[in-house]
Homo-oligomer: A and B are copies of this chain.
Amino acid sequence: MLSVARRPLSAAVPVGNLLGIHLFQCPDTVGIVARLSECIASRGGNIHSVDVFVPDDKPVFYSRSEFTYNPMLWPRDVLRTDFLNLSQHFSAQRSTVRVPDLDPKYKISVLASKQDHCLFDLLYRWQEGRLPVDINCVISNHDRLKDNHVRRFLERHGIPYHYLPTSPGNKREQEILELVQGTDFVVLARYMQILSEGFLKAYGKDIINIHHGLLPSFKGGNPSRQQAFNAGVKLIGATSHFVTPELDAGPIIEQMVERVSHRDTLQSFVVKSENLEKQCLAEAIKSYCELRVLPYELKKTVVF
């Protein structure tokens, strides 16, 4: 499988110090990094890395920084204010700062349908401590979870489960909207319903989806694996992306591929594809939580 190796979060945090991450987007101008590092240095903090991206053709500045600092010298609310001031100074479109060991984890809801491989994989990684999120609830429009290992898992960990069967006339979006209130973002772990533009607007925060194919090809639902199988492809893939009103056309966060051969059956295609989907979705969520991901232009992302 071809996966990406992002640099891990700064390993060497001095004892008594904390790691901070700052993600930033503003109109490009001279001296942004200087001002940012000055701000951190003035509080006794140390920058470990700064990643900057300015597109060829647009004066937009994107950056991600990691720094360590002494929380006794730089209380969390002062830190917040300092970065807010920076943000205002540069008229930032986006500015997020997180101190993973101090701040509450991102809170998410997970929506799934009949296939629960991505859902169960997320739960397992979460249990292992490898997905830094709190799961406020799981919502499904299929009752398959009624009495299986996912359901038992949820009960054991006290994660609420909501069965909201949909019909062409009732997508249950109002109920979903209420359930996902208070989350930081929503994950569609093979949720086979299209969320309306109204829902997206009302929720207003990011929604991450996993698609079983290499977008922008193979858009849409189930046929894609059959199509790929019939086309005799030698590679299959998966794509995690942000949800936008246009189906399967939101900015791509992560893509992964795996080899297939003439020996693969439609069934082994599915097994390999599901394995890709699980990893691709988990990677996207992890990158998002580590403040690596920014939408960029209409259909792109910066992934630091």
Contact = CB atoms under 8 A, between A and B. Distances in A.
Given A231-B299, A255-B234, A49 B48 contact: no
A264 B47 contact: no
Contact of A257 (B4, B235, B303): B235
Report the copy number of this chain in the oligomer.
Answer: 4
Contacts of A52: 46-49
A34 interface: yes
A219 B55 CA distance: 28
A37 interface: yes
Interface stretch (A104-112, A139-147, A209-217): A209-217
Interface stretch (A7-15, A18-26, A153-161, A164-172): A7-15
Contact of A216 (B55, B233, B255): B233
Contacts of A37: 31, 33-34, 36-38
Interface of A: 1-2, 4-5, 7-8, 10-12, 14, 28, 30-38, 40-42, 44-56, 214-218, 227-228, 230-235, 237, 251-257, 259, 261-265, 267-268, 296-297, 299-303
18 contacts: A2-B2, A2-B235, A4-B234, A7-B263, A10-B263, A11-B264, A14-B56, A31-B42, A33-B33, A34-B34, A34-B40, A48-B53, A50-B50, A214-B214, A214-B235, A215-B231, A234-B252, A262-B296
